[in-house]
Amino acid sequence: MKKIGIMTTGGDCSGLNTAIHRIIQGARQRKWQVWGILDGTDGLYVNPPAVIRLDDMMLPIENARLAGSFLHNGRADALNFETAAETGRIASFNKRLHKSLQELALDALILIGGNGSLSLAWANRGTYRDVQLICIPKTIDMDMPLTERTIGFDTAVQQLTQFCDQLLLTARSHHRWFVVQAMGRDCGYLALHAGIASGASAILMPEIRFNIDDLVKRISDADTDYGIIMVSEGITLRGHSGRPADMISRKLNAAGITNRTAFPEHIQRAGDTTASDRILATRFADCALNAIENGETYVMTALECGDVHTVGLSDFVASGECISDPHIPELLTSNAYITPDEPLLSVARDMGIYIGEIK
């Protein structure tokens, strides 16, 4: 009988509990034991390791739709890769994680994480040398190479769209514009998708240069006096500082355009998991379990052209745009961004949405 572990790391999102539940289901069909590691690497660092036995009674199906992670994603005050690197304890930190995995005697570990978590796993792959390491990509930012979708993205788009839907009602009542700041870090996919879904008049993304005067003129000349201006949190405006939405709002105010800012913040990470995210989580869970059966390790599940398969973590790191992690400078994280050939850019432009200067 195989003994497998599940660990969720990084930021939370909807779909994590669905993935955990489906792994439990699939493992039961194979008569495998499933153990959940609590609080990500925090649970491996403590002695003894913080784990719980997982079964359908522990995580019933009616709770699998909920956002967040049943296993938790880590504590702010705990030692992790970031704080271990800052304090020169990364070697001893990895040694403790490896020892915990040996004590748990796991045959395989399924790590559900974003690009930072997966990049860390590859950079510190020696820690997982005694188990099969299978990774499942999740993030609301959709900034991961080699997969067309990540768990949590679709639900985040839905949450942000619904937020804008409600704002539009008060915007119309008061003849005002709302500058909505979306999450996404340095990637504009969330802003782009939710902006198109909600009928935004402008969408500003980190990947596309924009002219603030052109934006102001577009809003001034619009046929309506209310609407949504979607701003990704990763944009910058030369000569200005502060939150991106506030910077844009000040420019609109200076031009006499009535507006308010709105920050949906962590509701983008919440909400009942959409059907498409549940299906993706189920497909990724099935792929991960099959990978364990096939003896694979250091791989990630991926969606490509409708097909779900595994790709090597080495390929994942090599395929993205590698940049230094802001908290661990020596760590290179693999990132994906909106490319000029993204079909939705042409759609937005054809719909009259201001998106900046597409080359």
Q: Among all residues, which ones are annotated catalytic?
A: 141
Distance between CA atoms of residues 350 and 19, nearest Å: 37
Strands 332-335 and 321-324: antiparallel
Helix axes 153-174, 275-293, angle to 10 degrees: 170
Distance between CA atoms of residues 130 and 141, nearest Å: 31
Q: Which residues pair with 90 in a beta bridge?
A: none
Task: Tell me the H-state helices in the chain.
Answer: 16-29, 41-45, 81-86, 90-104, 115-123, 153-174, 189-198, 212-220, 244-254, 275-293, 313-319, 343-350
φ and ψ of 109, to 5 deg: -130, 125
Strand order in the sheet with 3-8: 51-53, 33-37, 3-8, 108-113, 132-137, 299-304, 307-312
